[in-house]
Amino acid sequence: MSTTEATNAADLAIFAGAIEQICSEMDTALERAAFSPIISESVDRASGIYSSIDGGAIAQGHRGLPIFTGCMQYSVEAFLDEVTVPGERDVYMLNDPYRGGTHLMDVRLITPFHVDGELVCVLANTAHWADMGGAVAGGFGSRSTTIHEEGLRFGPTRLVRDGEVDHDVLGLVLDNVRVPEERHGDIVAQLGALEVGRRRLTALVERYGLDGFRSFADQLGHYAERLARAQFLRLKHGRYETVAWLDGDGVSSDPLRVSCAMTVADGRLAFDFAGTSPTCAGPMNSPLGASKSGVLIGIMHAFPGLLINDGTFGLVDITVPPGSFLDARYPSPVAGCASEVPARVIDAVMALLGQALPELAQGAAYSTSANLTVHGHHEGREFIMYFFAGGGYGGHAGGDGLTNACATISMAKVPPIELLEEWYPVSFARYELRPDSAGIGQHRGGLGARYELVIEADRADVSFLMERGRFAPPGIAGGGDGALTTAKVVRTDGTVELPEHVTKDQDIQLRRGDRIVVEMPGGGGFGDPGLRDPALVDRDVRAGYVGVAA
């Protein structure tokens, strides 16, 4: 198709669907080939296509983790700044939090896409590796005070040169991580997914021609901008403010404050985080890319029809004060930055959007991935099991919140417990909905889950990096708050041990028969509980969702 031909909406929709499908196919290829359950079962990964000029997002798979929506484009931007002449068949890897990354376990692979020797765009994916070395297996240490305690860190590093893996670089990585054979399988899966994307994108360019491809990509960006502006114009102009809290940083018991003000004007949104807590000692600092990604995810939650495209994000201005814990700088530790800190940013953004457009208002979600890592040796094999559970979303004007849902930062699924019991020396005594975890209201919050994990290895250790142990998901418009996160270790003699900082602790030694018990929060309620339909109250009581007193 030549660029002189008129482009109608149908043509653009076909192109948009085709380029998103390429990203989704890369996602599927990655999860099917990955060795780690966190990727293959929980689908903690994302793939995308990005501008070769500034790294801006062109498309991302619709099932990719939202937290990577913003972060990947910042990583690609760092890659383009530092690698000025990337080879046509080269692949670079990057996990540096300060170069658009998140925590060290989220590894990006980035490759340029050329046509006739000309750089056209960039392909990239991210996958959560189950370990990146460091002091605590799995990377979710709660007491780290520098990034060096958290594991191996690298900026744009060439892994593949002219289509051939550099085994010296690969060996350097595998020599510094636990369970290297599993990490090797994951990196091969990421490479394979990029190759799938390269083949499919080549076919797409052949279909449209290079000029046609660039024209459609440019028009897609303009369409994404128009679509977003139309939604933002629904918001009432003005300035809105809110505050959200995190339990603490794992080193200190002092809570962390997220202050955010949103200004709505002329179809644009501006977010200012002035007043946010300063850099903290522990691992709850968040690099700028992850913090900004939290803003973008909050917007996408409110307006799910928007496109993951730089045209959408170009209407959003984000100001994060230097020196705050939302602008982590070297050597600040950042283990909680991908799952816990951006979740609270999302809470703040969604609260602000609800102020500007009341039909968007809802109780807060549970907003914690509640990271649990069990590490040990069993029958001559080292293992690292990562687990998280579902929680509740907030009630809203249209009804009750979601129950046992994925975290707001992700599309990740709770891994099948039957498979975990097969792969690791653990058993689940229970995984069930947690009664009375939801905030009451005219429309109650969704329920959280609770689980009881039994250790079947002779020796193991567990680490917690969670949130919502001190600040419950707040209700709105008279609705009640959701429950708090609780976590504990129950010894075989019945002794109960709690995490040192409510939801954070590391390297707690376990023996066969010890149990880990975690209860997840439900969402905040919406509206006066006295206005709830009595039939719904009766249903909830009979189902065991709430007690008679509630």
User: Which spans in 379-529 are helix H?
Assistant: 417-423
Residue 344's φ and ψ, nearest 5 degrees, are -75, -30
Inform me whether the pLDDT recorded for 1 exceeds 70: no
pLDDT digits (tens, 9 = 90+) for 424-460: 999 999 999 999 999 999 999 999 999 999 999 999 9
Report pLDDT for 411: 81
pLDDT digits (tens, 9 = 90+) for 63-104: 888 888 778 999 999 999 999 999 999 999 999 999 999 999
Inform me whether the pLDDT recorded for 131 exceeds 50: yes
Report pLDDT for 4: 36
Inform me whether the pLDDT recorded for 107 exceeds 80: yes
Total tally of structural domains belonging to the chain: 2
**Other C-beta atoms within 10 Å of 199: how many?**
12
Whether 334 is in a domain gets the answer no
Whether 463 is in a domain gets the answer yes
- 519 and 376 co-located in one domain: yes
d(CA 363, CA 367): 11
Can you say whether the dihedral through the CA atoms of 537, 538, 541, 544 is positive or negative? Answer: negative
Q: Considering 194, 210, 226, which residue would you say is the last residue of a domain?
A: 226
Could you tell me the two tokens for 493? 């003699």
Cβ atoms of 36 and 186 closer than 8 Å: yes
Q: Considering 226, 254, 278, which residue would you say is the last residue of a domain?
A: 226
Sheet of strand 268-272, all strands in order from the earlier edge strand to the far edge? 238-246, 256-265, 268-272, 316-319
Q: Which residues of 92-111 are buried (b: 16+ CB within 10 A; e: fewer)?
A: bbbbbbbbbbbbbbbbbbbb
Best CA proximity match to 392, nearest among 330, 459, 360, 438? 438
**Other C-beta atoms within 10 Å of 255: how many?**
13
Q: Considering 226, 243, 270, which residue would you say is the last residue of a domain?
A: 226
Whether 378 is in a domain gets the answer yes
Cβ atoms of 219 and 252 closer than 8 Å: no
**First CA to last CA across the chain, in angstroms?**
64
pLDDT digits (tens, 9 = 90+) for 6-30: 468 899 999 999 999 999 999 999 9
Best CA proximity match to 70, nearest among 347, 409, 413, 467? 409
Could you tell me the two tokens for 407? 């975290």
pTM confidence score: 0.96
Mean per-residue pLDDT over the chain, rounded: 96
User: What is the residue whose two structure tokens read 């958290």?
Assistant: 150
d(CA 185, CA 275): 44
The CA-based dihedral angle spanning residues 343, 349, 352, 354, taken in that order and rounded to the nearest 10 degrees? -80
Whether 354 is in a domain gets the answer no
Could you tell me the two tokens for 135? 């002091």
Best CA proximity match to 485, nearest among 403, 370, 406? 370
Q: What's the burial of 162, exposed, middle or buried (CB within 10 Å: 0-12/13-18/19+)?
A: exposed
Report pLDDT for 550: 65
pLDDT digits (tens, 9 = 90+) for 244-303: 999 999 999 999 999 999 999 999 999 999 999 999 999 999 999 999 999 999 999 999
Q: Binning pLDDT at 50, 70 and 90, where does residue 308 land?
A: very high
d(CA 51, CA 196): 19
d(CA 40, CA 407): 18
d(CA 184, CA 40): 14
Give 291's strand partners. Answer: none
Q: Binning pLDDT at 50, 70 and 90, where does residue 523 land?
A: very high
- 216 and 365 co-located in one domain: no
3-state class (DSSP) for residue 7: coil
Whether 219 is in a domain gets the answer yes
Could you tell me the two tokens for 107? 């590894």
- 13 and 159 co-located in one domain: yes
Sheet of strand 426-433, all strands in order from the earlier edge strand to the far edge? 426-433, 449-455, 515-519, 486-490, 496-497
Q: 110: part of which helix (H) or strand (E)?
A: strand 106-115
Domain of residue 544, residue span: 361-550
Report pLDDT for 241: 98
Whether 252 is in a domain gets the answer no
pLDDT digits (tens, 9 = 90+) for 527-541: 999 999 999 999 999
d(CA 373, CA 181): 19
Whether 4 is in a domain gets the answer no
Inform me whether the pLDDT recorded for 2 exceeds 70: no
Cβ atoms of 27 and 54 closer than 8 Å: no
3-state class (DSSP) for residue 312: helix
pLDDT digits (tens, 9 = 90+) for 110-129: 999 999 999 999 999 999 99
Q: What would you report as the CA-atom Rg of the chain, rounded to the nearest whole angstrom?
A: 23
Report pLDDT for 5: 42
3-state class (DSSP) for residue 60: strand
